Structure 1
């Protein structure tokens, strides 16, 4: 893919996919908790000497939980944003910036990938 092709790609057209190694659950309230296993030398050291947990529990807010449950590997970010707007209305504003940042964070932590 050339530089011009990369620049012309619209972030909202990307299709997020949850990574398989992330375990998650939905509480009765509808909020999602991601369970992330802390692996690696540094984490083992921190667990042993600083009593850090082997698994971190990441609690998503209502909008993040709603979006997480909708990620199915077939919907792009634009179609997810329509569902978020329908569910949360003005509370989701600024919608596209917020969702773009949310997916950027999920991707940077390895919680999601994007379909090629």
Structure 2
């Protein structure tokens, strides 16, 4: 069972994990690279022809957010920048938090509480 995150998300600081590789194309779209390792992934690669490496293209919003993740900005800071860049976006904060949670679940980022070391 997943451990629930306690505290105020607005105070958390997302930080990219050092092993996360990414690239950016000429239009500003970010592509994350995920290497699938481990026993079950090797079985899937061998018998079900799953790729060893996946390339995940983020959309415009995701790319914008990814570029703002620097280990210093809080979720609140990122949400303010997102609202400035995309003023018509509905439920921007909840969408931002959900996106960051997905990145965390796939080990692209870690949460760092404001004033704490990365977990």
What is the TM-score when the length of structure 2 is the normalising length?
A: 0.86
Q: Can you give the 5+ residue segments of structure 2 that lack an aligned partner in the other structure?
A: none
Match of 2:32 in 1: 34
How big is the alpha-carbon RMSD for the aligned residues of Structure 1 and Structure 2? 1.3
Higher Cα Rg: structure 1 or 2? 1
Deviation per CA, 1:14-69, whole angstroms, max 9, x where unpaired?
00000111110011111111000000011111111221111011111100100101
Higher helix fraction: Structure 1 or Structure 2?
1
Q: Can you give the 5+ residue segments of structure 1 that lack an aligned partner in the other structure?
A: 1-5
Runs of 4+ residues deviating >4 angstroms:
none
Match of 1:114 in 2: 111
Distance in structure 2 (CA, Å) of the matches to 1:68 and 1:47: 28
Distance in structure 2 (CA, Å) of the matches to 1:12 and 1:103: 12
2:52 pairs with 1:60: no
Deviation per CA, 1:76-109, whole angstroms, max 9, x where unpaired?
010011111111111x221111111111111111
